[in-house]
Amino acid sequence: MKTQQQRYFDVDFKDLLITLNCFSLITFDHHHLHKIRETEEMNKSPSISVLPEGCISDLISCTSPRDASRFAAISKLFNAAADSDSVWERFLPSDYRDVIGRAVSAPVVFDSKKQLYVQLSDSYLLLDRGRLAFKLDKETGKKCYMLGARDLSIAWQDDARYWEWGPVPGSRFAEAGILREVWWLDIRGIIDTSVLSQESIYGAYLVYRVTQDAHGLGVPAKTIVTLGEIRNETSNVYLQQPRVPRRDRVVVTHTMRKDGWMEIKLGEFYCSDGDEGEVEMVLHEHLSWKSGLIVEGIEVRPN
């Protein structure tokens, strides 16, 4: 008797061939076709398990990392196919060797491409003098970056009267920017679209904390995200909740992250294949004196 999982993956022979043809990946030799046809004659509901492991791997590689992990739980055959390097190589970005070669710590060690994928999607990998961090989106395999505070352009950042720099518990980077006091708050980050996943909508987020004695951050700021001729502006962005709730307008406030930091969305942009250029991400506020802001960086991740 077939298990529920086996019945779920039984398919009509014609539907199976249509599926494979749509993926445009597999060319059956006469032996495999004969095997499938023999199975069809013996059983009107042939199982996909008659396919060779390589064919199943090719099919799974056209799904998603999450689906591949689910397929691995079906049977030993699917487990071997879903965990194969040929599948997870497809989920890794084409330039992953160059990326991990820029790691500032010890060389990235992995026994399989799936293990590498898990490592890169579980936590950020520091690159380029430790001022840039890279990871993969666990669900899609698309590239994420975080520009550390030292990699940003911040007004008055080198003036010790306004900003100090040093390690902060829980930070990914050796230094974070700690605001002493300033009137002119202007934070800018730039990233080249060529390092991102193409045909993807990205969001840019300022990652930060505030100290217990922070003040002046509950006033409206403005964010701007620019790519080429496309410029998106957002007003009424609050790093801290305003003391008096604004009911007369839509406001943007922060959300808490799983890593213990806060984030606020600066805007979105579309990364199109072939449209290379720089994305500029800005937050500025020039309305009052403010202090107690701790800047971790700007994260760019797919939405």
pLDDT digits (tens, 9 = 90+) for 44-77: 555 555 666 678 777 888 888 888 888 777 777 7
In this prediction, residues 169-193 reach a mean pLDDT of 97
Q: What is the pLDDT of residue 50?
A: 62
Q: Are strands 291-302 and 176-179 parallel, antiparallel or unpaired?
A: antiparallel
Q: Residue 131 — pLDDT band, cuts 50, 70, 90? A: very high
Q: What is the pLDDT of residue 71?
A: 79
Q: What is the pLDDT of residue 5?
A: 40
The mean pLDDT value of the chain amounts to 85
Per the confidence metrics, is the pTM higher than 0.85? no
C-alpha angle 137-66-97 in degrees, rounded to nearest 5: 50
Q: Residue 265 — pLDDT band, cuts 50, 70, 90? A: very high
Q: What is the pLDDT of residue 30?
A: 42
Q: Residue 274 — pLDDT band, cuts 50, 70, 90? A: confident
Distance from C-alpha of 83 to C-alpha of 31, rounded to nearest angstrom: 25
Classified as helix, coil or strand, 253 is coil
- Higher-scoring residue by pLDDT: 249, 70: 70
Residue closest to 200 by CA, chosen among 139, 113, 258, 280: 139
Q: What does the chain come to in residues?
A: 303
Q: What is the pLDDT of residue 100?
A: 96
First to last CA, the chain: 44
DSSP track, 147-211: EEGGGSEETTTT-TTTEEEE--TT-SSS-EEEE--BS-EEEEEEEEGGGSPSSEEEEEEEEEEEE
Q: What is the pLDDT of residue 73?
A: 76
Q: What percent of the chain has pLDDT over 90?
A: 65
Q: What is the pLDDT of residue 47?
A: 56
